[in-house]
Structures are given as structure tokens and as C-alpha cells.
Structure 1
Amino acid sequence: MLDARIKPQRKTLMALADAFSGKNDVAGVRDVHSLAMQGAQDLRMRDIDRLTLSYMRCGDTASIEKLLDLTRNRQMEPPGSYFARLIINYARDGRIGDAYDLYEEAKRRRDTGLDCVYNAMIDAFGMNGQLGQALKTFHMVQNKTPATYEKLAKAYSLKKEVEGVVFCAKNIALLQPRRKYNVQVHLIRAFGLQRNLVSAKGAFDAVKDEVKGPTLAIYESMMHAYGHCGNPDGSILVLRELEERMGFTPNCFTMTHIVDAYGINGQYEKAYAVFENIMERGMLPDVHAYNSMIRAFCMSFKFGEAMGVLGNMLERNLLPNGHTCRAFLSAYLTLGDLTSACRIFELLLKVQPKPGYRAYEMLIEGFQSQANLQEAVNAFKDMRRVGIPTDDELIDRIVAFKHETALEGAREGFHKHLKRGMPTSVDQPVADGTLLTEGRNHGFSTP
């Protein structure tokens, strides 16, 4: 705890915030924030920006929102980069509705410097699996830069669209040849999600032959690929190569990739061993690390252990986000336990007034699996009500489900008529000599 009687300079305070965030010590960052607010001078925009970055590293969205409210109350004019960072932060929490609201706010509060905001929104939609919305936003960018194509490449990779990633790589090579290798990160990820380890390894090795060699992000994408290709031990080998070749000391973010790799392959015990190793190395797990461990337990249906990790997370004053609840939601839906899934969704609503696109999509899929059209439609309407942008793909799925349900109702009515010995053809006479016509009530719905 910092001594409130000490009045260090603003520059010193911001350096302290950076240091605390580097260790994922959110309590330390909050102490710095409190001291800064007690100073004789108000926080400047650049101080708010630095504190926001520190909170982002710790995954403390609640404190970030307090700083955002401060800019609103003081009618400050944040740079586009500030809005972009917050949009990405919301997207990482699965709060695409809030990200979109902030995107609209940025356009209202700023007339220039919005390219990075558009890029951030492309990234946000991509992270939430909304490639269609990402493409719409992409076409709104007038001055497309390599960064714009990189964000779109990421969106393509998360949908396993290798051709789209290659398209982005070609455009980046034309605009800025040196940055073309940045797209390799997303290409490796796309191959990994396709469970194509040979191609992922080929893309990784191609970068290794370059003069500069692979970046940290390239190594992390290869860890991700090994995990999704069912070879989590391979991610450990990549980590060792990273340490030996680049002299890199693993941080919490890198170690979280290993937790994920074991978790998605059902090896929750090894995942937990890596999670504990994060703390043994003197690092404090951030929200993303906790979520990865919760997801690992949930994927093996170890709900008690997952709740234990969640409890530890809350003890550190780290709030769960959309990814936390979606881990439970996915597991319950896999088991067909829609009741528990709905209960978790209600919990998500308490944490986030605007749950993410993916959470709604999963719930709608759950209702569809149990042929509950009304609840699926209600969830879709609620999604629109809270302002979450929807993709044409989801709309088409709802429409198709409605038609399918109506058709099933027609079939049931048809069989009821057969059992009662009633005519089934519209031109077949009934007992009183009249004909069944389309204008009469047949006793069942039509598609």
C-alpha cells in the first residue's frame, strides 16, 4: 500500500503504475490512481491514457470505465488511439455491444483521427467471430493501411479463412513489404484452427529462415496451433526454443497460451500445473490467465474446480468477464443442460448489461438444439434490444429455424389428420361433399 501522505510527481506516479501493471498488480495501480487524483493538479489526458494502459494489462475494466467517465465529465477530447484501446479492451472481455457504443461515441466526439478507431472495430468484430461486420467496417475505412489489413487478417484467421488471410498478406506486401510477415501470425493461427499442423509448421519455419527471424507473436501463434492440433506438448517445445533462441523470459501472457493448449485437449491437470508455475515464477495471473484455467476445467466438466479458480480470482478483486461466463456456458450446453446454461447467462447479465455476441449466439444454438423457437427468437430480440450488432449469418439461421419449426408443425398436423382418418389432399372431398381449400382451417400450421 502506498503512503497517501507522499506527493510524488505525476511522471513518477505513471512510472509506478507501469511497474505495477507489469506484475499484474492491480491493487498497486489503483493506489497510484488514488494518489494521482489527490494531487494538486488534475490528471491530464496523457496520464489518463497511461493509467488506462496499466489497467488494461491487469484486465481491470471497471477502473478503465471510471477513467472514461472522467474524460466525459471534464469534456476532454481523447485521441483516436485512446478510443481504439478501449474498444479492443471491451472486445477482449466479450463486450462487443459496449465496444460498438464506444465506436459510435468516438465518431461523435472526434472529426479526425478515426482510422485507428475503425481498425479497432474491425479487430473487435473479428475477436467475436463476426467476420461479416468486420468486413463492413473494413469497407468504411478510406485510407487502408497495413494495420487495417492486419486486423482483417486476424478476423479471417479466427474463422479459419486462409484465403482471406493470404489476400490481406498480399495487400500488406504492396503497401509495406517489411510488414508482410506480421500476417504470418494469423496464417499460422488459421492453419491451427483448421487442425492443419503441417501447414502451420511450414508457415512458422518460413519466417524462421528470414534474417530477423520470428517475433514473439509468431512463437505464440505456433503454441496456439499446437494446442488446437491436439499436440499441447509441442507448445512447450516452442516455448523452450523461444527462451533459447531469443533469450526470452516467459511472461504471464505467453504462459497462458500453454494453459490454453493443455486445457482444450482435456489435460486440465497439466494446465493447472502451468497455471501454478505462473505464480511460482513470481507473476500474478491476470484475468485472461484465470479465464484460461476456468475454461480448461469447464472443458473437462470439472465445475467445482472451475468455481474454485473463480473464487480466487474474485479474492484478488478481478471481476469475471464475458469469457469467464462463456466457459461455463459452453460446457453446460455441451452437456445439454440448458437450465444451468440459462442460469449462467443470467449471471453474465449481472456482470455485463450487454453480454457479447458469442454468448447470445451460444444460447440461441442451445435453444435451437432443443427446438425451442420462442426462446431462441426472444434471445435474438434481446440481443438487438441491447444494441449488439448482428451478422446476416445469425439472422439467416434464425429464419431457417423458424421455417424448419413451422414445417415440423405442419408435419405433426399432417400425421394427426392421418390418424383421425381425415383427407390430406386439398382437392379431396370430405364427408359433406365439399372440398378442402387453402382458405379453410386445416388444423395445422403451414410453413
Structure 2
Amino acid sequence: MEETRKLMKAVHQNSTNPKLAWHLFKRILSSPSTSTSTHHHIPTITRILLAANMHHEIDNLTQLITSNHPNIAHHSLISILRILAQSPHHIDSAFSHFKSLRTQFPSTPLPLPLYHLLLRSSLQNNRPHFVTSLYTDMIQSGVSPQTYTFNLLLQSLCESNALDHALQLFDKMSEKGCYPNEFTAGILVRGFCRAGKTKEALEFIDNKLCFNVNRVVFNTLVSSFCKQDMNDEAEKLVERMREKGLFPDVVTFNSRISALCRAGKVFEASRIFRDMQMDGELGLPKPNVVTFNLMLKGFCQQGMMEEARSLVETMKKGGNFVNLESYNTWLLGLLRNGKLLEARSVLDEMVDNGIEPNIYSYNIVMDGLCRNHMMLDARRLMDLMVSNGVYPDTVTYTTLLHGYCSKGKVFEAKAVLNEMIRKGCHPNTYTCNTLLNSLWKQGRKVEAEEMLQKMNEKNYQLDTVTCNIVVNGLCRNGELEKASEVVSEMWTDGTDSIGKENSFAGLVNSVHNVPTSMPDVITYTTLISGLCKVGRLEEAKKKFIEMMAKNLHPDSVTYDTFVLSFCKQGKISSALRVLKDMERNGCSKTLQTYNSLIWGLGSKGQIFEIYGLMDEMRERGIRPDICTYNNMISCLCEVGKAKDATSLLHELLDKGISPNVSSFKILIKAFCKSGDFKVACELFDVALSVCGHKEALYSLMFNELLTGGKLSDAKELLEASLERSLLSKNFMYKDLIDKLCKNERLDDAHFLLQKLIDKGYDFDHSSFIPVIDGLSKRGNKQQADELARIMELALEGRDADRTCRNGNTVFRRKLHKDGGSDWQDIINRDVGSGIALKTLKRVEKGWGQGSILSLLPQKNDFLDY
């Protein structure tokens, strides 16, 4: 006895050295003087071994006890089993020991609390199949269940969505002498509500229960009705609670507010919130911190930032803006609505108020910075986190990686992944999918293949999203056969495809990944879209049939793919047949559907039908976008109704939809084609005020004026373009110089050529020839020789500066494709659609008398400076 006591003392002292503690305890078990009280020490050594993950030694412990000490074996093994069941994430080991115990002592029943512990642990660790085995063993051992036992079993069935079996078990409770209680009702009601069967849950408590349920059950029902947008039923239930004397508490109201905000019905939620604040005489509960946070989140999600700010001020005055959750909610709202500076001040305010930001706080800010492509600031934030003792996690690194990928900076994204792994932070499937998608987008096929291989080697759980990225990448690269092969192999066993050479599915489908990488609607839609884009409609139809045969129901995107393809081929009747099938299968027309049809009908000149589609869009509440209007404008211009198209432009501006460069290009071309150059110039003026001084607008207007024989106007516009550094190869300036020379306007041609030289543009030097010839014929030999020498130097390709006799400097400059500075564009865009509307009205009334000269930048223009 004394030796055992000393050894146990040594075991306790060496608890941090589990190997030595195990060695000492084995001496206790092998000692002939070991008493029956040794089983009291079994829990101690079990906890030491379990903390060190020494599962093999725990198995040895059970074997030693069974073979050397049969008199204490049963009690000792139960002690070991209880500790394993109580330890998180060790339910598999516990169940293995349970089976071993039942094999050794089949006729000795286990205590009911131990069954309960095992049942509860199985539920917590998502092992519903253990529950069935435990209950069967319990009945066979003659252990009588209690109501608590049935509650655990019902919880297991509800979490497995086996509601019919749960009701059957509920009916059998009375046969075992057990009667349901309020917890039983709560479990079943929660199970029905999670499955979206709230009405069935209400019927259950009305028809199956012989006792009054508590407020918790009613709150669960109220919340579920609100989530399903059944607010009338929720209101009736609240009244019913009052009738039963169960006055709704703050949890009831929070459930309603939460559900309404999630459904986007923030105004309805705010009315309830206001009543809670104001109508104390009605017996309504006062809002708590949770209520305020729910409303704040709701306002932010709907972009109602003024209401959110007002609420934050109210919370601060009432002392309800004091916890980390409130700050995080406000931070998230600000950043998701683009208020970066405010978010930064909130982060500083948190620190000043003694509330330390946690990893979630920093991840919110990181997400906001990356969404706004502020990658340098995101990197600095990561340094700040570490300096404050908060270390980046998988979400932090993945957010940063996604930010780089969204900017097309794959090299930096790969560096983030490597850093992440080096710092011991394991990437998840989403991390890898993000980088993989970016590699495919940039056509870096070899790197994408290598990454897939690495993901497979590291046993990352590749999923359907991974497969869809691969299919999309192959379609983008024109490898449709391989994409089709991947889809086919996704249905088969992954082990059969691993050995195939160059098999992408082999990389995606490893044995452990097969169940999670089955094709879905997106997979097939991606492949169908790829086939349609290259005109392989018959193959796309076959894939559509295969998709239906696999019980995958197409969505609106799938149908839209076919509608667009048929419209592009001019097969409008086929597109309309697709529409009928689409509506028959319960898929609603989308904006893309209407845009495709408008484009298709417009190519056939069916304007009346297009207006019918526009009316239908309004009836269905589908708001046209710029693509819709551009299609309409193009269609009207094609059939010679350019003035009607201009009224659409007015409608666009009136609705606050900004026309783009394409909108104006279509109209300008149409009016120039019909010879209405005054109208075209006025529209050009509107275009500049809305879109900014874009090279595409200047080059189009210049070319149209030149083609229409408006040489003076074209010359003035070219000068304006040169002043704004907008000249590009899209300008037909060579033709202008040639025409000026032919029209005996040699001085104008020479002036333009000299301006091109002075501005340092690298232009087509064949433009010199007609001017040189003209000067020679006129007797201006010196000027002609000078131009010839400049042309000769340029043709030799010398990049160094050259000085001619008149002191002009010639140097090479790449033509600005976009034209102008971003700042100039912003300044001009800030003129806004208000001025554009006024100008357009002037166009509609008298088409105005604007001059191209007004486009030239003034020398003292402060904004340009």
C-alpha cells in the first residue's frame, strides 16, 4: 500500500512528462500489493495519456487492467470510457472502448448516466449512427430509458432531418413509461422549423401535446414564421402568447427583428423597434444591446447609412454601444458601404475606449481595404495586427490573396500563399480555389495544373467549385474536349481517372474527394456556354439533355445561354421556343434574357416587338440597364429612327443611368451617316460632359467629320485632340493632311504636321509626302528640305533628340491610347448629367449651334492646370 501511494505521488508530480508517468503507473499495475482501490487512480493516468494523445498507451492500459485485475476491470473501464466521452473530438475512441467493454462484459449493464453521456457526445460530434447502436444496446441490456433519453434520441433524429421517425419515436414514449416535457416539445418544434415546416410544428403542439408549451417554443415558432416571410402568422402567434399569459419578451421581438432584417424588410423591423422604444404603456419589452445590434446590422446591409449613424449616436448616449460586437457590426457596415476613413476612425475609437479589436475586427477592415484594391494599406494592417498581438488566420491571408487576384496580381497572390504556409497557417479549399481561378483567368494553364496537383498531394478537400473552375478555365482556353472529359469523369470513380495521362479529372477526383466533386448546374452551364460561344449548338443541346438525365434542373442562366446563342445566329423562333420551355420549367426571364431578345429582334428590324418587350420588363419589375438601352438605340438607328433613339438617351439620363461611350458612338455614327453633323456635334458635346474626354469619342467624331467632307471641323477637332494628348492610331489624320493638300489648303496641312512634330508624336511619316510635294511645287524649297530631313531621321528610327535648323526638337513618344489624364476625366465627368440633360434638351429643340473651337482647352483653365 505504501509503495502504491508513493508511486501515485510520483505519477502526479510527472503529469507534464506523460511517458514517465505511464512507466510509473505500469509498475503500480504490475505490483503484487496492488489493492482494489487502484481503480480510483485510473482517471488520473487516463487524463494524462489523453492530453498527450497517447491513444495506444490507453489501449494498453485497458488490456493490463483486464488481464491483471479482473476484480476492478469493469469499474476501471467505465472510468476510462467516461473520460473519453467527456473529451471533445474523442468520440470515435470512446465508442471503440464502449464496444470493447460490451464484448468483455456482455451481461453487465452500464449505468444510464453513462449512456446519456455517450449519446450527448455523439450528437455534439455529429455521429448520429452511434446513437442508434447505443440505444439498441441499452434496450438489450435491460436499461430502462427516461424522458431525457428520448429527448436525446429525438434531437438526433431531428438533426438528421428524419422528422417522420422522430414523430414515431415520440408516439412510443408513453409505451416505455416516459412522458414528454417542455424540452421534448422544444426539440421537435426546432427540428420542424429548421426544415422549413413551421405550420406542421404549430399543428404538432396543438394536436400532440397535452400541456401548455413555454415561451421558448413560441419564440422559436415566431422566428421561423418571420424567416419564411409569414409575418401575419407571426403576429397571430404573438397575440396567442398574450392570451395564454406568456407575454412576449425581448427574445420574441429580437427574433422578429432579426428575421425581418435578414429578409431585407428593414422598414418593418424598424417599426417594431420604434414601438419597443416608445410604447412602454403597452407592456412591450425595452430593446437590449442585441436588439440595437440587429437593427444596426439591418440598416448597414441595406445601405441606409444615415439611419445607421443616427442609431449609433443613440446607442452611445444610452450606453448600448460598449461591446466588441457593436463595434464590429458598425465596422462591417461602414466598409461594405465604402466608408473607409470612417472605419479607420472607428478602429481608433475602439482602442481609445479600451476595447481591443479581435481577429474578426481586423479581418473586416482587411476585407474593406482589399475590396477597394488598397493592397499596400492591407499589408500595413497585417503588420499592425501582429504588433498588437493578433496573428493573421486563414481568413486574413485568404482575403489578402483574393485582393491580389482581383487585381490580376497572381505573382503577389502566390507569395501570400507561400507566406501563409510558412507561418503555419493552413489554407482551406476556398483559398486554393481563389488562386486557381485567377491562374485560369490569366491563361496560365501550366501553373494551374501544377497547383491542382499540389492540392491533390496535400489532400485538400477539392470540391465541385474546384471542378467548375477547371471546366471554366479549359473553356476559356478553347479546350472544350478536355472540359467535356472532366465533366464526364466527375461522375465516375476518381481512382479510375487518376492514372489517365493529362486527365484534369484525375487531379480533381481523388478517392476521398469523389462525393464532394459531383457536377452541378453551374458545371453544365459553363460547358454549354463554352460550346455555344464557338457555335457548337448541337453539342450544347446534347449536354443539356445529359444534364436533365442526371436530374440536374437548368436555371435561368442555362436557358439564357441558349437564348443569346440563337439570337446571335438570327434564329429568333428557336430562341422563343427556348423561352416557352424556360417558363414551363418555372424559370423566370432575367435581364439577360430580355437583352438577348432585344438584340436579336433588333437585328431583324422588329421594333414593334422590342417595345412590347420593354413594356413587359416594366410590368415584371425588371429594370433595364445600359446594355438594354444601347441595344434599343442601336436597333432604332439601324432602321433610320435616330431621333427616337435620342429620346431614349434622354430617358436614360432622366433615370440616373449613365450612358457609356458606346451609347454616344452609336448615335453620333447614325446622325453623321444621315448628314446631320450639327446634331452629331451636339451629341458629342453631351458625350464629353457625361463620359469625359475619351479618345474613342474624339477619334470617332474626327473620322466621321473627315468622311463627311467637313475638313475645317475635322482640323479643329484634331487640334483639340492634340492639345489634350489624345491622338492615337484610330485618327485618320493622314487622310486629313492629304485632303487638305488636294484642296489647296497647304498651309493648314503644314501647320498640322508642324504641330504633330512640336508635340513629339510618333505618327505615320508618309503624312510628310503630300506636304513636301506641295511645298516644293510652291517654291518653298527650304521648308520642303527641312521636312524631308525630319522624315528621314524618323524613318532611321533614331530615338535620341534631334535639333533642326529652326530649333524644333523631334523625339519619339508612344501614342496615348486612353487619352488625357484620369484627373481631367474626373473633372469633366463631375459636370454631371444635369448639364448633359440641358444640352440634350437644346439638341431636341433646335439642335444647338455649338462650335468645335469650344472644345479647345483654355490657356488659363484652372481645372486643367
Equivalent AA in structure 1 for residue 376 of structure 2: R
Measured after TM superposition, the shift of residue 409 of structure 1 is: 3.4
Written as runs of structure 1 = structure 2, the 5 A alignment for 1:50-69 is: 67-68=337-338
Q: What is the CA–CA distance in structure 2 between the aligned matches of 1:340 and 1:298, rounded to whole Å?
A: 14
Closer, same or farther: CA 442–326 of 1 in aligned 2, 3 Å:
closer
1:72 matched to 2:412? The reply is no
1:38 matched to 2:38? The reply is no
Within the candidate set 567, 581, 584, 1:227 is matched to: 567
Q: What is the CA–CA distance in structure 2 between the aligned matches of 1:339 and 1:207, rounded to whole Å?
A: 52
Measured after TM superposition, the shift of residue 271 of structure 1 is: 1.7
Q: Which residue of 2 aligns with 1:187?
A: 530
Greater displacement, 9-18 / 372-381: 372-381
Q: Which residue of 2 aligns with 1:218?
A: 558
Closer, same or farther: CA 207–300 of 1 in aligned 2, 3 Å:
same
Q: Which residue of 2 aligns with 1:107?
A: 375
Q: What is the CA–CA distance in structure 2 between the aligned matches of 1:44 and 1:321, rounded to whole Å?
A: 31
Q: What is the CA–CA distance in structure 2 between the aligned matches of 1:19 and 1:299, rounded to whole Å?
A: 46
1:272 matched to 2:541? The reply is no
Contact conserved, 2:598 with 2:631, CA < 8 A, in 1? Answer: yes
Measured after TM superposition, the shift of residue 274 of structure 1 is: 0.6
Contact conserved, 1:189 with 1:221, CA < 8 A, in 2? Answer: yes
Measured after TM superposition, the shift of residue 216 of structure 1 is: 2.9
Contact conserved, 2:405 with 2:438, CA < 8 A, in 1? Answer: yes
Written as runs of structure 1 = structure 2, the 5 A alignment for 1:112-261 is: 112=397, 113-121=399-407, 142=414, 145=435, 147-148=437-438, 151=441, 164-167=476-479, 173=486, 174=504, 178=519, 181=524, 183-184=526-527, 186-188=529-531, 190-191=533-534, 196=535, 199-210=536-547, 211=550, 212=552, 214-244=554-584, 246-261=585-600
Measured after TM superposition, the shift of residue 241 of structure 1 is: 2.0
Measured after TM superposition, the shift of residue 329 of structure 1 is: 1.9
Measured after TM superposition, the shift of residue 243 of structure 1 is: 2.0
Within the candidate set 16, 31, 49, 2:264 is matched to: 16
Measured after TM superposition, the shift of residue 420 of structure 1 is: 5.9
1:330 matched to 2:666? The reply is yes
Measured after TM superposition, the shift of residue 240 of structure 1 is: 1.9
Measured after TM superposition, the shift of residue 414 of structure 1 is: 2.8
Q: Which residue of 1 aligns with 2:644?
A: 305
CA deviation profile, 1:343-365 (whole Å, cap 9, x unmatched): 44543444455x7xxx6435435
Q: What is the CA–CA distance in structure 1 between the aligned matches of 2:400 and 2:725, rounded to whole Å?
A: 27
Q: What is the CA–CA distance in structure 2 between the aligned matches of 1:377 and 1:213, rounded to whole Å?
A: 59
Contact conserved, 1:226 with 1:235, CA < 8 A, in 2? Answer: yes
Q: What is the CA–CA distance in structure 1 between the aligned matches of 2:481 and 2:699, rounded to whole Å?
A: 35
Unpaired runs of at least 5, structure 1: 1-6, 21-28, 53-66, 87-101, 123-136, 154-161, 385-393, 424-435
Q: Which residue of 2 aligns with 1:414?
A: 773
Closer, same or farther: CA 333–291 of 1 in aligned 2, 3 Å:
closer
Q: Which residue of 2 aligns with 1:3?
A: none
CA deviation profile, 1:296-316 (whole Å, cap 9, x unmatched): 43454534333434444455x
Measured after TM superposition, the shift of residue 268 of structure 1 is: 3.0
Unpaired runs of at least 5, structure 2: 1-253, 269-300, 316-326, 348-361, 380-396, 415-431, 444-473, 487-503, 509-516, 708-713, 735-760, 796-865
Closer, same or farther: CA 222–81 of 1 in aligned 2, 3 Å:
farther
1:364 matched to 2:695? The reply is no
Contact conserved, 2:598 with 2:613, CA < 8 A, in 1? Answer: yes
Measured after TM superposition, the shift of residue 219 of structure 1 is: 2.1
RMSD: 5.1
CA deviation profile, 1:274-325 (whole Å, cap 9, x unmatched): 111112234444555445444543454534333434444455xx422243x5
Q: What is the CA–CA distance in structure 1 between the aligned matches of 2:532 and 2:267, rounded to whole Å?
A: 31
Q: What is the CA–CA distance in structure 2 between the aligned matches of 1:404 and 1:361, rounded to whole Å?
A: 18
Contact conserved, 2:476 with 2:530, CA < 8 A, in 1? Answer: no
Within the candidate set 297, 317, 320, 2:657 is matched to: 320
Q: Which residue of 2 aligns with 1:157?
A: none
Q: What is the CA–CA distance in structure 2 between the aligned matches of 1:263 and 1:283, rounded to whole Å?
A: 20
Contact conserved, 2:633 with 2:667, CA < 8 A, in 1? Answer: no
Measured after TM superposition, the shift of residue 374 of structure 1 is: 9.0
Contact conserved, 1:278 with 1:285, CA < 8 A, in 2? Answer: yes
Written as runs of structure 1 = structure 2, the 5 A alignment for 1:330-349 is: 330-333=666-669, 335-336=671-672, 343-349=682-688
CA deviation profile, 1:230-253 (whole Å, cap 9, x unmatched): 333433222222222x32122444
Q: What is the CA–CA distance in structure 1 between the aligned matches of 2:722 and 2:376, rounded to whole Å?
A: 28
Q: What is the CA–CA distance in structure 2 between the aligned matches of 1:187 and 1:258, rounded to whole Å?
A: 20
TM-score, normalization: structure 2?
Answer: 0.32
CA deviation profile, 1:409-429 (whole Å, cap 9, x unmatched): 313533664x56999xxxxxx
Report the 3-state secondary structure (helix = DSSP H, G, I; strand = E; otherwise coil) of the residue aligned with 1:44: helix
Q: What is the CA–CA distance in structure 2 between the aligned matches of 1:291 and 1:118, rounded to whole Å?
A: 33
CA deviation profile, 1:365-412 (whole Å, cap 9, x unmatched): 55356486995797599688xxxxxxxxx9776799777753133135
Measured after TM superposition, the shift of residue 229 of structure 1 is: 2.2
Equivalent AA in structure 1 for residue 546 of structure 2: D
CA deviation profile, 1:202-258 (whole Å, cap 9, x unmatched): 3354344232364432322222222222333433222222222x3212244433332
Closer, same or farther: CA 350–421 of 1 in aligned 2, 3 Å:
closer
Q: Which residue of 1 aligns with 2:829?
A: none
Measured after TM superposition, the shift of residue 262 of structure 1 is: 2.2
Q: What is the CA–CA distance in structure 1 between the aligned matches of 2:565 and 2:526, rounded to whole Å?
A: 15
Contact conserved, 1:298 with 1:306, CA < 8 A, in 2? Answer: yes
Q: What is the CA–CA distance in structure 2 between the aligned matches of 1:422 and 1:283, rounded to whole Å?
A: 67
Q: What is the CA–CA distance in structure 2 between the aligned matches of 1:82 and 1:272, rounded to whole Å?
A: 42
Closer, same or farther: CA 411–299 of 1 in aligned 2, 3 Å:
same
CA deviation profile, 1:118-162 (whole Å, cap 9, x unmatched): 55456xxxxxxxxxxxxxx56765366453367558xxxxxxxx9
Report the 3-state secondary structure (helix = DSSP H, G, I; strand = E; otherwise coil) of the residue aligned with 1:230: coil
Measured after TM superposition, the shift of residue 107 of structure 1 is: 1.6
Measured after TM superposition, the shift of residue 71 of structure 1 is: 2.8
Equivalent AA in structure 2 for residue 218 of structure 1: T
Q: What is the CA–CA distance in structure 2 between the aligned matches of 1:295 and 1:437, rounded to whole Å?
A: 48
Q: What is the CA–CA distance in structure 2 between the aligned matches of 1:397 and 1:302, rounded to whole Å?
A: 28
Q: What is the CA–CA distance in structure 1 between the aligned matches of 2:571 and 2:722, rounded to whole Å?
A: 37
Contact conserved, 1:297 with 1:305, CA < 8 A, in 2? Answer: yes
Contact conserved, 2:483 with 2:527, CA < 8 A, in 1? Answer: no
Q: Which residue of 1 aligns with 2:223?
A: none
Equivalent AA in structure 1 for residue 606 of structure 2: Q
Highest CA radius of gyration, 1 or 2? 2
